[in-house]
Structure 1
């Protein structure tokens, strides 16, 4: 990759992060009333509101508080939760050990299911298999992840009793958990998240593969005697990965945000449940930092996808010069 390509992509990454941080900060700034009043509720005494306002440094100008927040994030200092009395960085670190494995497991299931179904549909274009995949994907897109999560609980937890209906045992064997119990607790939530995403990605994969199959270089490869299957794996798939990577990058960010609802359905102590509890407790310090973290994750994933573009399709580096 050329240095100019990397520099431009990194500059875009930093600029997007700054815009996202300004937007998150501004949205919470325009809430009606003082942030301390919002956090403490209408029954709070003026003394308590004033004390919390001083703790949150609300007496300072907005630009100065925004700069302090950015500097604190750069140092890993995100403030203290008013509801828990715990540093926000510690709360987020505790919840990431659940949310990140859940998102990774869901993304793995999404990729395997989507690529398998999309390639199968493209390879059997116009046949019954193609029609079946399209019907299944349409149903998958129409099903909300939280509703599918409830169906999974009713089937596998209530009726078959193969999985727990909720909760997370932890990754530590000493605490009664471990690798397998932890993965088992995350499997149903991951499936609930993956079904909708896999349905979308399967259709994109099918469309991308069919589009590339109509290119001249594919017909040339077939004319040289290469089998249809070999042409698909050697020539079609790599060229069809650019739009697929785009959707995959967006989907991983969507998995982190969609987990807010699914984690609450399964009572998982992840970032989603933390956001839900912070909103219920009016803990704006936690809400602001977690929302910024999710936004940064989406921006970072898209930055990585841009780099993968250049690896998959070197023509993009030439166009960017």
Structure 2
């Protein structure tokens, strides 16, 4: 197990290095002048040149990349050109909202998807199965931003059960904070839960056809015992794969949903940074999101080995 984790860690480090180079060069080749964007179109050329020098834009690209990479290794993401504050400070403030939002949406996704997927598989080719799969098909087709608008109109405007947007912070209490994130989390989770439910149903149905399941039935085990003790563990590997990918999707989807609900999270920060062409802030946010995706994939690989020891043997 130790060797398995060590190999995955090496792959993680190589991936992060490649991502750092890709993020820097992709943003570096964008057209436009970041100093001009920061000062406005009517700024004096001397002021633009002075700010460009201060931001290091007069240096060669490879030199700027090395300075940024060395600073990144020391935990320094630079200073925002539009806010004037350290990028790490701005990101940390926004993560206090985005991470709980993504975790709440992921929790809703897992609970809904597993319940629907297992129920549909256990009642294969019945009316329940057909109805649940029809609902998930609708869920897959619904864009999360459109669902977010419908949730605001129904639960905030008409019923007035929740606020239409905004976030007062966690100082009001955890319950109030989660209440403000409930509608955005539902909007994020609905589509992902529909996708995961269909994958769960397929994985469970495929596992139910295995020989050891027929052997368990021949021994007289109940369908409930077979499902919960034998089938779900073996069907978990493909489901966990999709869960890892979906957490990254939730973080990316938060950019749109946070803007619908005017939440001061990381997604809204990225949107504003792109509009202001704040390259240090955009680099920091994108690199953080890429790092989170890679770390989630690493955690999924380790979880694979914990669920199915055969994967450790295959790696050796």
Same fold (TM over 0.5): yes
Q: Decide which of 202, 207, 223 is 1:212's aligned counterpart.
A: 207
2:109 alignment counterpart? 110
Deviations 1:170-213 (A, max 9, x none): 101xxxx2111111000000000000000000000000000011
Question: C-alpha separation between the residues in 1 aligned to 2:314 and 2:110?
Answer: 29
Is the Cα–Cα contact under 8 Å of residues 167 and 185 in structure 1 kept in the other structure?
A: yes
Question: C-alpha separation between the residues in 2 aligned to 1:4 and 1:83?
Answer: 45
Q: What is the TM-score when the length of structure 1 is the normalising length?
A: 0.95
Structure 2 SS opposite 1:31: coil
Is the Cα–Cα contact under 8 Å of residues 37 and 276 in structure 2 kept in the other structure?
A: no
2:58 alignment counterpart? 59
1:197 alignment counterpart? 192
Deviations 1:24-48 (A, max 9, x none): 1111111124443454454332222
Q: What is the TM-score when the length of structure 2 is the normalising length?
A: 0.97
Question: C-alpha separation between the residues in 1 aligned to 2:20 and 2:40?
Answer: 26
- Report the CA distance between 1:267 and its aligned residue: 0.5
Structure 1 SS opposite 2:164: coil
Question: C-alpha separation between the residues in 1 aligned to 2:92 and 2:283?
Answer: 15
User: Please, which runs of 5 or more residues in structure 1 have no aligned partner?
Assistant: none
Residues 23 and 51 of structure 1, relative CA distance in 2, 3 Å threshold: same
Question: C-alpha separation between the residues in 1 aligned to 2:56 and 2:108?
Answer: 45
Q: Map 1:12-161; keep pairs closer than 5 Å.
A: 12-161=11-160
Q: How many correspondences in the alignment?
A: 316
Q: Decide which of 259, 265, 273 is 2:260's aligned counterpart.
A: 265
- Report the CA distance between 1:63 and its aligned residue: 2.3
User: Please, which runs of 5 or more residues in structure 2 have no aligned partner?
Assistant: none
Is the Cα–Cα contact under 8 Å of residues 39 and 284 in structure 1 kept in the other structure?
A: no
Deviations 1:115-160 (A, max 9, x none): 0000000000000111111101100000000000000000000000
Is the Cα–Cα contact under 8 Å of residues 201 and 247 in structure 1 kept in the other structure?
A: yes
Question: C-alpha separation between the residues in 2 aligned to 1:84 and 1:58?
Answer: 18
In the alignment, is residue 168 of structure 1 matched against residue 167 of structure 2? Answer: yes
Question: C-alpha separation between the residues in 1 aligned to 2:39 and 2:27?
Answer: 15
Is the Cα–Cα contact under 8 Å of residues 103 and 252 in structure 1 kept in the other structure?
A: yes
1:248 alignment counterpart? 243
2:282 alignment counterpart? 287
Q: Over aligned residues, Cα RMSD in angstroms?
A: 1.2
- Report the CA distance between 1:53 and its aligned residue: 1.8
Is the Cα–Cα contact under 8 Å of residues 29 and 35 in structure 1 kept in the other structure?
A: no
2:312 alignment counterpart? 317
Structure 2 SS opposite 1:250: helix
Is the Cα–Cα contact under 8 Å of residues 34 and 277 in structure 2 kept in the other structure?
A: no
Question: C-alpha separation between the residues in 1 aligned to 2:285 and 2:162?
Answer: 30
